[in-house]
Structures are given as structure tokens and as C-alpha cells.
Amino acid sequence: MTDPVPTSHFNDPTVLVTLTGPDQSGVTTRLFADLAPFGVEVIDVEQLVVRGRLILSALLTVPVDVADLETAVHAVGEAFGLEVAVEHGTGDNRARRVGRAQVVVLGAPLRPAAMAALAQRIKDDGGNIDRIVRMARYPVTAIRMEVSGADPDQLQSDLAAVAYEQGVDVAVQENGILRHAQRLVVMDVDSTLIQGEVIEMIAAHAGCEAEVARITESAMRGELDFGESLTARVALLAGVEVSALDAVYDSLTYAPGARTMIRTLKRLGYRFALVSGGFTQIIERIAAELGIDYYAANELEVAEGRLTGRIAGRVVDRAGKATALRQFAEEARIPVKNTVAIGDGANDLDMLAASGLGIAFNAKPLVRDQARTSVNVPYLDAIIYLLGITREEVEAADAAD
């Protein structure tokens, strides 16, 4: 086991060298080659290029002949036409590891006012932004900020309020090794994985679509108990030919980015589950098509080729969704804190709360207000940015296939 860094090292003298200007080949090589004779230790390095502009910083231990080191660094700057700054201080950034979090901001578009408001809130919470990296430029702009010094739970609560005011989405996750572990993604289906509500599509074949839609909306807003509302809606479907389910399945439209999200995360070993208040006759076919590992849904009772207007077996309701999430996590041998739940309706709230990362996706106001994380852009693959994956990495993986 590696010994920890002695606390006294946090106060050792250091020198920070920063070069800025037009990016050119060979700058990094030349800088460290010219530093080599001074016998210094490299403590930290950061390099960033934005539209051809370079920022290169190196934190070093202080050599005996520090004046000569400064002269050498300025010579590198002159050779490449770069501005040079040399700052003396103590320690490095290891002492500020307490309260480290990853803050991801999604905007379509992302405005300067939103970034200013979020940065101010981070500062007010005692945090410092150590690094900012772009995760994606389209279909949304996604920016990741690495923050230290603030409590992640407090940040999540405070930044969510700012994000709502600014019309952007924000997710906060505590940094740590578990963030890189295998995860189980549990998704609602209707109006989350797919566009629209399956029960309303079936109701169109029974001539009662408007009535079913009215009950559905009321249930999703949390105004009606889901189980009671489901019973009432299914009763209206009595007499529909079971062949109508084939037509409904053939007409399904997945949310934009759904296939990309599933394909990308499965490459990384993620598992997927569908937990739906909808119906197994549709859900099991979706699961087979997309390579989903687990699913739970309600089963429509069928007799003599027609729907009876009843549910066969136990209803998968709000509590049932949370139970299914825990069951699937156990089967996959993945800790519940490493689960991601995605949903849009009031009957998803227990599932979102039970998961390690609950995401309200284009959700009703009641759900958005109670969920820890909210995504309000119509692209399901935007969720991969919350998990630390960049758009460039997605495209590179797709190109390699």
C-alpha cells in the first residue's frame, strides 16, 4: 500500500509556471526538457487548448537556483511567443480534496448568465471550481465543473434552484472511485424511453383515447392513486382485440438519443432494466429489441383473443417500481447506490428516491421539484454526460464499430 503524503508537504514551498498563447507543437516537450536540469519534482500539470489558445501550467518544487529556472521558463515563452507567469507559494491542491464533486451543466442553449449564477452559488457554498471541461456541443451544450470545498448534497440542492431560474439542467455527483463502477440503469418506459403513453395508443383502438388520456394526466401529476387510475383506464379497454397490441408496438417511437444512450453504456458494461406501469405484452418486445437485461410491468388479461379490461396478477405501481429496482440491483450484484433511475411521472418518485442517481426526464412539475436531478431537454442520450462520458468518446466508439 502506498504511504499517504505527509501533511507537512502541504506547506512545502512550490513554484507555479504558466504559459499562455497560441498553441504550437513542441511547447510541452521544450518546457519539461528545459526544466529537467534543475532537479525539480513535477507536482501537478494542467494543459488546455481552446480554439487554438494554449494554457499550460506546471506546479513544481522549488530548486536551489530558482532565478535560473525562471530565466529558462521565460526563454521557452520567447521561443514560442507565449506569455509566461511564475508564481511562488506553498503546497499543492491535495489539501483541498474535501467535498469534491462533479457538477454537470446542460443547456440548449447555455448562456453566460447561467454560468455566472451557478459559479456564484458554488462560491457562496464555500466551493472552488478547480477545472471546467466541455462534454458535448450538440445536441445540447454540456459542461463539467470539478468543484472542491463544498458539501455535494448542499450543492445539489442549491444549484437545482439556480438551474431552474436560469433554464438549464444541473447534476451533482460526489467524486470517488464508485463513480467509475458498473451501474444499473432503470428506466420508466412511457414518455421516457418512448414518446407517448402505450395505454392511450391502445385506447385509440377502443374509441376512448380522450378519456384514458385525461385519467393518465391526472395520475402522472399525482392527483390520483396510480393503481386506482390504472384499473379505471384498463377497464375502458375491454373488448379490444389482442392483435391491436401488435399495431401499437409497430407504431412506437423511441425518445431521441435512446438507442445511443443504451448502446454507449452497454459498451461500458452497464446493465439496463425497464420498470413500467405499462404492459408486459409491449415491454418484453422492447426489452428484446434493445437488449435490456431485466423488466417489470403489468400484464393485460386476455380471453378469447380480446382484452378483458383487467390486470392479471399484482399491479406494478409507485412502490412496486422501487421494489423492482432493488430486486434487479440484487440480481445484477450491483449496489443500489450505483443505480441510475430515469422517469417522468409521480409513480416514478419512489424509484428515483431509492436509486443512487434519480433523474427526472422531461418530468411533470411535481416530479421535477422532488427529484435530485432533472433533465429537461428532449434527448435521452444527454444523460450519458451526467455519467462523465463526452460526445467525442461516443462518436469515436461508434466509428470503431
Task: Convert the pLDDT of each residue in 142-175 to its tens digit.
Answer: 999 999 989 988 998 899 999 989 999 999 987 7
> Is the pTM value of this prediction over 0.75?
yes
* CATH 3.40.50.1000 segments of the chain: 185-370
% helix / strand / coil in the chain, to the nearest 5?
Answer: 45, 30, 30
* CATH 3.30.70.260 segments of the chain: 7-95, 97-175
pLDDT at 8: 43
Amino acid letter, residue 195: Q
- The third-level CATH classification (topology) of the domain covering 185-370 is Rossmann fold (3.40.50)
The pLDDT tens digits along the chain (401 residues) read 445 545 445 578 899 999 999 999 999 999 999 999 999 999 889 888 888 999 999 999 999 889 999 999 999 999 999 999 999 988 765 544 567 889 999 998 999 999 999 999 999 999 999 889 899 988 899 999 999 989 988 998 899 999 989 999 999 987 765 566 679 999 999 999 999 999 999 999 888 989 988 888 887 777 878 888 889 999 999 999 999 999 999 999 999 999 999 999 998 889 999 999 899 999 999 999 999 999 999 999 999 999 999 999 889 999 999 999 999 999 999 999 999 999 998 889 999 999 999 999 999 888 888 888 889 988 999 999 988 888 888 888 788 77
Q: In what order do the strands lie in the sheet with 306-312?
A: 306-312, 294-303, 271-279, 184-187, 339-343, 357-361, 373-375
Q: Rounded distance, CA 212 to CA 205, Å?
A: 12
Q: Residue 378: enclosing H or E segment and its boundaries?
A: none
Calculate ∠ Cα 180-104-181, nearest 5°. Answer: 10
Task: Convert the pLDDT of each residue in 106-125 to its tens digit.
Answer: 998 999 999 999 999 999 99
Q: Which of the residues are catalytic?
A: 188, 190
- CA distances (Å), origin 241, targets 235, 247, 305, 309, 314: 14, 11, 6, 11, 23
Provide the terminal-to-terminal Cα distance of the chain, rounded to the nearest Å: 39
Give the homologous superfamily in CATH for domain 7-95. Answer: ACT domain (3.30.70.260)
- The third-level CATH classification (topology) of the domain covering 97-175 is Alpha-Beta Plaits (3.30.70)
Q: Rounded distance, CA 37 to CA 64, Å?
A: 12
